[in-house]
Structures are given as structure tokens and as C-alpha cells.
Amino acid sequence: MRKAQAASRGVSDEDHDAAVVQLRALLRRYEHYCMQTDSSPCILLKNDILLKIDQKHLLKKITLSFPDDKPSDAVLPSLQPLLMALRDERYIHVEELNIWSLPLKHKDVVELCLMLERGGRTVYPIRSLEILDCKLDDWCLERFGKAVNSSYITTLCLDYTCMSKEGLIGLLSRGFGSCQVHSLSLCYCGLGLWSGTLLASLLTKSSVRELYINGNELQCVGATELLRPVAENCQKMAETPKKTTSITDEAELINQLSNTKSSMQRKSAHKGKKTKKKRGKTKSRPEAKEGPWLKKLHMFDNSIDNQVPNQLKRLMELICILVKFSSDLIELDLGENHIGEDSGKKLLEALKDRKAAKLSPIKIQVSTRMSTETFSAILKSSKELKSGKKKRQKKRVTIEFQMIKH
């Protein structure tokens, strides 16, 4: 019975046994290199490996983290033993790699980048990379930007990495224009007004469609620079079908008639013949959309307020354009940004226009610093948005407090 169930899922007992053998070898090799390099094995990683051994499943998500409950003079985990163990065992099943609160040296960064890049002898198809609070300098960011260009990564998170203007330029200028990253998270990275133009250029040239920049200091000016090309392209794409419909109607009708006629001719030609076995249908790839557009935008706590009314007014005009016309936008986080009552009413009107246009609802979060009526109406006109990024901020504070305490 067990074999039958495994076969129905496409997994054999041999596959389960092979997974156990691989994981045991990986754990032994990892502990061996930890002793060699005088570093402490990561307890979380060891537990994850042992759990997968019990389940007889491959480990596809690896998390290497700083031990919160150890004294400051304790031996810390290191990235080197893990990388060496993965290489020696040719363990190519990791899809998600998380490195939390572990200061990385230049050597660590180089070794990790060589593993991510597709030009090596062994391919490690890591698709999600999260480097959280690892104290990366400008050189490390530039090296990661280069590695991402030739990797399989689609989701990149560099939260709590303090970035200068040069560091962000180095990260974005190396390879984001041609890589396949669609989700980028730069929360609590110290990004200021200057980052708006750089991020706008990123969205214009790359495939990034989910942008998380919570806890930064873009303010109205930086956020306006970021959203201007996205909003302009969104409005342009919304107006284009209205202008071209009347011109293309006749051509579309001719094409439909032609397709119908050819279909009838094919049916008559095959009449009376034996039907051949159907082959699998090959779906054509959808055409890439022109210009920058966003699916998710999280700008929680970016010091956006009404201190300079004209700046907030311009920003809200761009946000309202996105809300009205973007059929792709599904999440918008403006929490802890004090947009005020007037901007709240404009956002509410944009949500009503979106509903009238029969576009899908957006998950929205806004600050409560507006009238109860306007705030409640915005929530009723949208879906509730819960952001997981704020929990990471609390974790960071806890880590720093424990380090100071010790």
C-alpha cells in the first residue's frame, strides 16, 4: 500500500532512501568543517536536516542564523563550513537560502557568489536568497549584484543592510537589467531621497515587479521619483486600447473570418480519417509588457507626510493613477505614512473609480491619522493587507538588545 501511494506521487522508496543518505552525508561533512574552521554548528540548520531525515525528504530550504541566546564570547556559526559541505557533497537541491544576522567577510561573499553563478562546474539552482542584517559593505553589494545577473535567483531580500548611495548603485548597476529577479526587498536599509531615482531606473530596466522598501526615508520627494515612470506608463497603457480599438476592429474581424474558414476546411479534410493521438499542447509565452509596472509595492514607514503640501499632493496624484488604472497592482502598503484626510479622500475616490472600471480589488494599508469615516471607507473599498516585514523589525531590535545586554 505504501509503495502504491509513493508511486502515485511519483516518489519511490529508493528516492526516499537516497535523500536520507545525502542528508546524513551533508550533516557529517558540515560538522566536520565546523570543527576544522573552529566555528559553531548552527543549531537551527542541524534540526532542519534531522527533521528532513526523519521525514525522508530532501532539504530545500536552508537557514543559517546567529544564536540569540548565546553569550557574546561564544563561538559563532560561519558560512564557510556550509558552503564547503554543499560543494563537497554536490548537494544541488537547495532552492531557498537564508542567512540571518551573521557578519559576512569578503571571502564568504566571494564563495557564495561563485556558488550562485551558473558558470561553475556544478549548478546550484537557488531561487530565493535572503541576507538579513549581515553587515555588507559597498564592495559586497556590488559583488552580489554581479552574481545575481548570472544566477537563478527570482527573490532577493537584503533587509537591514545599511546602504550608501554608492552601495545601492553597485548592487543595481551590475546585473539587474538582464536578470530574472521579480521580487526585491530593501527594508530598513537607510535609503533616503536619493534612492527614488535609482529605484525608478531599476523598475524601468529590470523584471522587478514586487518592491518592498519599508522603514526607509524616501519621503514624498523620493517616493515621487520612484513612482513617476510607473504611473506614467500605467496611464499610457490604459489609454492606448481606447485609441486603437476603432482602427483595429476591421482587421480583427477579417482575421476571425479567415480563421473560421480555415478551421472548417481542416475539419472537412480530416473527415472520415482516423484521429491521431493528441500531443501535449505547447502554450506560447505571454508577451512581456512594455515599460515599468508593479504588482506589489510596500512603502510602510517612509516619512511620507504633509509638511510640504505640494510634494504630498504630487505623490498622491501618482498613487491614485496606479490605483485607478493598474490592473496588475494587487498590494499597496502606505502604513505609518501620515497622508492625512485630504489625501485619504483622494485615495478613496481612486478606489471607487477602480471598482467602477471592474478591476480586481487591491490590498491596502494606510495610517489611521485621518477621520474614522474616511479610514473605514478605504478599508471597505479594498482588502486587508498584513505585512510580514514589521515582525522582522522587532526581531532585529531583540537581537541588538540581547547583544548590548551581554
Q: Which residues of 205-217 are buried (b: 16+ CB within 10 A; e: fewer)?
A: ebebbbbbbbbbb
Tens of pLDDT along 276-332? 444 444 443 444 566 789 999 999 999 999 999 999 999 999 999 999 999 999 999
pLDDT of residue 73: 61
pLDDT of residue 240: 75
pLDDT of residue 7: 46
For residue 49, pLDDT over 80 is answered with yes
Instruction: Tell me the pLDDT band of 53, cut-offs 50, 70 and 90.
Output: very high
pLDDT of residue 149: 87
| Burial class, 39, CB count within 10 angstroms (exposed 0-12 / middle 13-18 / buried 19+) | middle
Predicted TM-score (pTM) of the model is 0.82
More confident residue, 251 or 116: 116
Q: Mean pLDDT over all residues of the chain?
A: 83
pLDDT of residue 30: 96
In the structure grid, which three cell numbers stand for residue 177, read together?
Answer: 537589467
Instruction: Tell me the pLDDT band of 360, cut-offs 50, 70 and 90.
Output: very high
What is the chain's length?
406
More confident residue, 3 or 180: 180
8 Å CB contact between 64 and 77 = yes
Comparing 62-66, 217-221, 222-226, 362-366, the range with the smallest average pLDDT is: 62-66
pLDDT of residue 262: 54
pLDDT of residue 242: 53
Q: How many CB atoms lie within 10 A of CB 54?
A: 9
For residue 402, pLDDT over 50 is answered with no
pLDDT of residue 385: 83
69/78 Cα distance (integer angstroms): 17
79/266 Cα distance (integer angstroms): 62
Tens of pLDDT along 179-191? 789 999 999 999 9
Tell me the average pLDDT across 356-374. 93
Tens of pLDDT along 331-340? 999 999 999 9
Contacts of 50 by beta carbon, 8 Å cutoff, 6+ apart: 27
pLDDT of residue 329: 96
